Amino acid sequence: MRRVQVAVMALACSGIACAQDYPAKPLRYIVPFGAGGPTDTQARWVAQKLNAAFEQTVIIDNRPAAGGVPGTAAVVKSLPDGYTLLAGNPGPLTVAPAINANLPYDTLRDFTPVILIAKSASVLVVHPAIPAKNLKEFLALAKARPGRLNYGTPGVGTVGHLSTESFARRTGISVVHVPYKGGVNQYTIELMSGYIEFATMQIFNIAPFVRQGKLRAGRHLAYAFARVARSRNPARAGSDRF
């Protein structure tokens, strides 16, 4: 199983034009998830580039809670002066509005997208003790153990939550959602320790653990790596990657 997550940088909308000397003070870059996760990793890479380009400090402000909604709302509550940025994530920006009519923000009204940061693929990974080495075997196991396989996500309404529930419904399996306030680092540790059985995670976060044998991802991970390798353009050699 594979899903694509898109990361964007956004800021609170403002009718005030930026001064020519912008930025004249440090910028705050709010990440609505915990440190070490994909959104945080991408934001820190962007912060380094902005720091070098603007010669101003870019402060990463992690706000992990409730699937990223409170951290995203914090940007809306800030002064609309261009000094508070959001590490956008599909969960709080697109999924949450579809399942929660009482959000403290309107994605289209309250944010101005700045730039697309990254597109990243995700895969289903399991603890090595799970007796399933491919998707067919995993589905057979899940159907034999309805309601007994647990999966972790950064919270209710996140991309990992919705994509896994969609996968479960389409394949006819019953699995248990375990949301973690601590984000991807917390449930990665729980997964490697065997407290949960599987998760849908981004490739660059789990690839080292798969190589070390601490997690199992099956053939689809190798296929994804092969696609990435084939997509590399020699003409872009030396360009920045993370």
Residue 85 has what pLDDT?
Answer: 94
Angle at alpha carbon of residue 221, lines to 88 and 49, rounded to 5°: 35
Neighbours of 88 (CB within 10 A): 30
The backbone torsions φ and ψ at residue 119, rounded to the nearest 5 degrees and listed phi first, read: -120, 130
Task: Tokens for 77, please give them.
Answer: 């509550």
Three-class DSSP category at 29:
strand
Three-class DSSP category at 91:
helix
- Token pair 């699937």 is found at 67
pLDDT at 238 over 50: no
* Lowest pLDDT segment from 45-49, 137-141, 201-205: 201-205
* Mean pLDDT value across residues 58-62: 95
The backbone torsions φ and ψ at residue 66, rounded to the nearest 5 degrees and listed phi first, read: 45, 45
pLDDT at 216 over 70: yes
Binned at pLDDT 50, 70 and 90, residue 13 comes out as low
Distance CA 135, CA 218 (A): 8
pTM over the 0.85 mark: no
Residue 52 has what pLDDT?
Answer: 93
Percent over 90 (pLDDT), the chain: 48
Residue 37 has what pLDDT?
Answer: 82
pLDDT at 17 over 90: no
The backbone torsions φ and ψ at residue 70, rounded to the nearest 5 degrees and listed phi first, read: -60, -40
The average confidence (pLDDT) of the chain is 83
Residue 233 has what pLDDT?
Answer: 46
Sign of the CA dihedral running 77, 78, 81, 87: negative
Binned at pLDDT 50, 70 and 90, residue 222 comes out as very low
Three-class DSSP category at 100:
coil
Strands 150-153 and 58-62: unpaired
Three-class DSSP category at 184:
helix
